Amino acid sequence: MPVFFSAHSAGLIMAVSTMIYNRFPATLNTDVTRVSVICARQVGVDHHLLDTKKLSSQGKRLSESLSKLVQLTIETPYRRNLRNHNWVLVNEIVEKHNAPAKSPKEVIADKWRELHGSMDWEDLLDPLHPLLRREIVKYGEFAQATYDAFDFDSFSEYCGSCRYNRNKLFEKVGLDGSGYIVTKYIYAMSHIEMPQWLEKSHLLDTWSKDSNWMGYVAVSDDVETCRIGRRDIVVAWRGTVSPAEWYEDFQREMEPIGAGDAKVEHGFLSIYSSKSKSTRYNKSSAAEQVMKEVKKLVEFYRRQGEEVSLTITGHSLGGALALLNAYDAAVAIPDLPVTVISFGAPRVGNIAFRDELQRLGVKTLRVVVKQDLVPRMPGVVFNEALQLFEEITGTLEWIYTHVGVELKLDINSSPYLKRRFNPLGFHCPETYLHLVDGFSSSSLTFRSDARRDVALVNKCCDMLVDELRIPPSWYQLENKGLVRNEHGRWVKPTRDPEDIPSPIGEENAFPSPNSDPEKLSRIQH
């Protein structure tokens, strides 16, 4: 298994490589969509509570250079002026210690289609509607969970896996109140010739020499289904953390996808679609694993007479994989509402790929930070801007283009963040979530009633102003995972059997479509 870097180092590598309160517009459908059968018999929705008040040699040399760059601190002189109101920020943080960290959930059963892009988020982004803000943060936290639960320890025999089994995942990462249940883990591999300096591993005997945990599939429980107006299936994809993955991110070649002119970046497609019969976890590709689970869930809940949606999320590389996943889902299940909410995602394919996703009805909301470099990749020069010259050049099938609607955020909007150059911090998912939580509109300041814990920003980077006294990169296992044994010596603990990766367990993760609905209901509660 290749060596694994920390999440923030991987964010730096990829970065170098590669919205006040507003009423919904009158176009919103005020008719309540049909809620699930289970929901109907459990909860009576009180409608007056609904808010009326939102590789080649060149590749090798590049990789080697970047590996050295990881050891450097890239920083320009600190130009922020210390101002009196920074001490006011400290007082605000202290006061928020006694306030809930999250906004209360509101019923969105009659608004979910608009919130998920049926009108391409028209009049919902600037200013950012509070209900949409909460939805974006919700899915962003699902993406963040893929980092929080990932085993980065290169001295661990389970390096590259999820530290917890799927029944404990949300509890361990603080999402036990999310209203969703994890049903399936996704594993991915990549068919590339790795340079020798990347192939080395601290351990020879590992859980898998070929595969990494790449994300998971989850589904809303009965209570959450009532609140949001349909049964929501979520797929969350992890961003780049392993050398094999960011080595693939450097590939700039396109290759066809589907039967038309659509093409996507080779490296992203390789991670998404690679498989090998000789492996334990990738006898089927990540694409096949996720689509098998999505089809099974859709069939199961439709058998119960429920309305179903699919929401795919991911950060960085995970945002790229989310688009590939959305393409597959829209082709395989044409009548399924598919929405992508991505964070700091790069471009994935050409204009034809973008047009094909639009034709298939996939709705995409891209959250980007102005200072983040990753969304500019690939295609820093040759990108969608060249469409202005299409009459002269003709159709350009080889240029990269973004997909969907963009919500652009700015580091400078938050008084809590440092202003110095920090590509690592600019790209961190927690920075994204902080900025979404505080965004009102492009013409207004950072909202004072933002609920999300500011300290989370520094989980894996150093972005908070020093006056807040939050240490950088504070998120880690207690004692870095070491425990004392019965003799008083510090050792690496053995994993609980239920947390050890098991390909057989994954195959039987979710009840089959023929399972007893009452049994499934008990599992969910």
For residue 107, the model assigns a pLDDT of: 95
8 Å CB contact between 218 and 182: yes
- The Cα–Cα gap between 366 and 274 comes to 26
8 Å CB contact between 276 and 210: yes
The DSSP result for 97-125, as a single string, is TTS-SSPPP---TTTHHHHTTTTTTTTTB
Please tell me which residue in 232, 249, 372, 437 is annotated as part of the active site. Answer: 372
Q: What is the pLDDT along the chain (525 residues), one digit of tens a residue?
A: 443 433 343 343 344 333 323 334 434 443 433 444 444 444 333 433 334 444 445 544 444 444 433 333 333 333 344 444 565 666 666 666 667 777 678 999 999 999 999 999 999 999 999 999 999 999 999 999 999 999 988 888 888 899 999 999 999 999 999 999 999 999 998 765 544 434 434 555 678 888 999 999 999 999 999 999 999 999 999 998 655 545 554 556 889 998 889 999 988 999 999 999 998 899 999 999 999 999 999 999 999 999 999 999 999 999 999 999 999 999 999 999 999 999 999 999 999 999 999 999 999 999 999 999 899 988 665 656 555 545 444 456 668 999 999 999 999 999 999 999 999 899 999 999 999 999 999 999 999 889 899 999 999 999 999 999 999 999 988 888 899 999 999 998 888 889 988 887 666 565 544 444 444 454 444
Q: Categorise residue 119: left if φ over 0, alpha if ψ from -120 to 50, beta otherwise.
A: alpha
Buried b (16+ CB within 10 A) or exposed e, 131-156: bbbbbbbbbbbbbbbbbbbbbbbbeb
Q: Which are the contacts of 373, defined by CB distance < 8 A and separation ≥ 6?
A: 15, 16, 18, 423, 426, 427
Residue 483 DSSP SS3: strand
Phi then psi dihedrals of residue 308, to 5 deg: -125, 145
Q: Locate all alpha helices (DSSP H) within 362-501, ordered by sequence.
A: 390-393, 423-427, 429-438
What CATH topology corresponds to 108-409+477-524?
A: Rossmann fold (3.40.50)
Q: Which residue has the tokens 């990169």?
A: 473
For residue 105, the model assigns a pLDDT of: 84
510 DSSP assignment: S
- Judged on CB neighbours under 10 Å (0-12, 13-18, 19+), 292 is middle
Phi then psi dihedrals of residue 427, to 5 deg: -95, -15
- What pTM did the predictor assign? 0.79
The DSSP result for 346-391, as a single string, is PP-B-HHHHHHHHHTT-EEEEEEETT-SGGG-S-SSSSGGGGGGHH
For residue 129, the model assigns a pLDDT of: 97
Q: Which of 352, 345, 347 is nearest to 400 (CA)?
A: 347
Q: How many CB atoms lie within 10 A of CB 311?
A: 26
Please tell me which residue in 129, 315, 427, 434 is annotated as part of the active site. Answer: 427
Q: Are strands 231-237 and 263-265 parallel, antiparallel or unpaired?
A: unpaired
Q: Categorise residue 136: left if φ over 0, alpha if ψ from -120 to 50, beta otherwise.
A: alpha
Residue 129 DSSP SS3: coil
> Is 427 assigned a catalytic role?
yes
Amino acid at residue number 377: M
- The Cα–Cα gap between 471 and 478 comes to 15
- The Cα–Cα gap between 318 and 239 comes to 4
For residue 383, the model assigns a pLDDT of: 57
Rounded to the nearest 10 degrees, how much is the dihedral formed by the CA atoms of 53, 456, 249, 501? -100
Q: Which of 405, 408, 406, 414 is nearest to 452 (CA)?
A: 414
Residue range(s) of every CATH 3.40.50.1820 domain in the chain = 108-409+477-524
316 alpha-carbon distance from chain centroid: 8
Number of H helices, E strands in the chain: 19, 11
Rounded to the nearest 10 degrees, how much is the dihedral formed by the CA atoms of 20, 24, 26, 28? 160
Q: How many CB atoms lie within 10 A of CB 322?
A: 28
Q: Which residue has the tokens 């605000």?
A: 92
Q: Which of 491, 190, 193, 431 is nearest to 321 (CA)?
A: 190
CA distances from 299 to 231, 234, 336 (A): 12, 15, 11
Please tell me which residue in 274, 285, 316, 414 is annotated as part of the active site. Answer: 316
Q: Are strands 338-343 and 363-369 parallel, antiparallel or unpaired?
A: parallel
